[in-house]
Structure 1
Amino acid sequence: MIDAAPDATHTTPTGNRMTLVRSMRTSVFVAVVIAVLDQMSKAWALRDLVDGRVIHVIWTLQFNLTYNRGMAFSRGTGVGPIIGVIGLVVVVMLLLSLRRADNVLTRLATGLIIGGAMGNILDRLFRDSGWMRGAVIDFIDFQWWPVFNVADMAIMIGAATMIVAMLKYNSQIERTDGH
């Protein structure tokens, strides 16, 4: 059986390392931008939405400060520390998975998810009551949907982008395999 020549980026340990660095650089850049934007927006909310102040933006969209001690969409109140630990494990797993992220869409999605997770993990670690007892700051309120934040948006957009990348990648594999 004759094997096809491997891709030039994977022929040497240096090539593998460069591919990993390139994959990580894109994802880490996106993650840092998201985490910073998330923390900046939360600092604004904590400063300008105190004492029950609500800013009406348009239609049902308003900015309204809430503290989420549970998980997504304010479910599971009181399990924040467990969610924080799970979030850290997910971030580490995603960072390790970057070795296999061979397209920009997957790297972008991974960066969005990591950045969003880190934004919320920072809240859980350092806000309010102290180490691992903090609440996630939520303030984007449509009034007909649970209140959320920039990190939550990044996680959801990242997850949707990851699904698109997987579907696109799988269809490309099927076409090249003749299926």
Structure 2
Amino acid sequence: MASSRPRTSQVLPETESQQATAGRREVSASALAVLAVVAVFAYTVDRVSKILVVENLTLGAPVDVIGQLLQFRYVENPGAAFSLGSGSTWIFAIIAAVVTIFIVIFARRIRSTGWAVLFGMLLGGNLGNLTDRLIRPPGFGIGHVVDFLQVYGFPAIFNVADIAIVSSMGLFILLTIRGVGLDGKRSSKTAEPQEPATLDSRATGTPAPTDQA
């Protein structure tokens, strides 16, 4: 008669690689969430502000907000950010579409909160101006972008999308200077110093001398 033994299920411990993979997925999901929230916020504020400007302001008429330091002046811009490159609207529309696709594909590599905020601002601002170029007169792909923010002494009139795009560029410079990678880790540019005896022994192929009592 065979003896019956209780079967016990053995749970194998996770290896370091499995734990690291799970950690990367969790961090990546968190970074993607930050990117999405920032992009939606920037896009929404830009769209709502433009709708309010078009419905309530007269084209070209200035409205003082903080005296002449900050004014609302509704203009229609056929060019790029800050009213640059007028007459090449369709080129900027294509560039904006390519940038949007690049960010969506590239986003899965981001594991840093700082980089997630950067790409979120860039995506939201890019989509804000791209929407104008696609749906506003005079036609699809050549629509004029709504600009309305004018700061005293600044030569161009801009919008919320432009602010988001320029802010992302500033954050890019900051993260690059600090050496923060897409994974959130800082790159170490200085190697640890080695002892002269160790370096000499490597060069000559002989063991380093030791003190004898």
TM-score by length of 2: 0.72
Shift of 1:49: 1.2
Helix, strand or coil at the partner of 2:54: helix
Give ranges in structure 1 of 5+ residues lacking alignment.
Answer: none
Q: CA RMSD in A?
A: 2.4
For the structure 1 residues 92 and 17, does the alpha-carbon distance in structure 2 shift closer, same or farther, using more than 3 Å as the test? farther
Match for residue 21 of structure 2?
10
Give ranges in structure 2 of 5+ residues lacking alignment.
Answer: 1-15, 194-213
For the structure 1 residues 41 and 85, does the alpha-carbon distance in structure 2 shift closer, same or farther, using more than 3 Å as the test? same
Amino acid at match of 1:173: S
Of 62, 79, 85, which residue of structure 2 is paired with 1:70? 79
Match for residue 210 of structure 2?
none
Q: Give the whole-Å Cα distance in 1 for the aligned partners of 2:59 and 2:99.
A: 35
Match for residue 173 of structure 1?
187
Contact kept? 1:113, 1:158, Cα under 8 Å: yes
Q: Give the whole-Å Cα distance in 1 for the aligned partners of 2:114 and 2:19.
A: 21
Match for residue 149 of structure 1?
159
Q: Is residue 86 of structure 1 aligned with residue 86 of structure 2?
A: no
Q: Give the whole-Å Cα distance in 2 for the aligned partners of 1:80 and 1:165.
A: 31
Q: Give the whole-Å Cα distance in 2 for the aligned partners of 1:119 and 1:8.
A: 39
Match for residue 162 of structure 1?
172
The count of aligned residue pairs is 172
Shift of 1:81: 1.0
Match for residue 50 of structure 2?
42
Q: Is residue 28 of structure 1 aligned with residue 42 of structure 2?
A: no
Match for residue 100 of structure 1?
109
Amino acid at match of 1:57: V
TM-score by length of 1: 0.85
Q: Which structure carries more helix by proportion?
A: 1
Helix, strand or coil at the partner of 2:87: coil
Shift of 1:20: 4.0
Q: Give the whole-Å Cα distance in 1 for the aligned partners of 2:120 and 2:54.
A: 26
For the structure 1 residues 176 and 31, does the alpha-carbon distance in structure 2 shift closer, same or farther, using more than 3 Å as the test? farther
Match for residue 111 of structure 1?
120
Amino acid at match of 1:26: V
Q: Give the whole-Å Cα distance in 1 for the aligned partners of 2:186 and 2:27.
A: 21
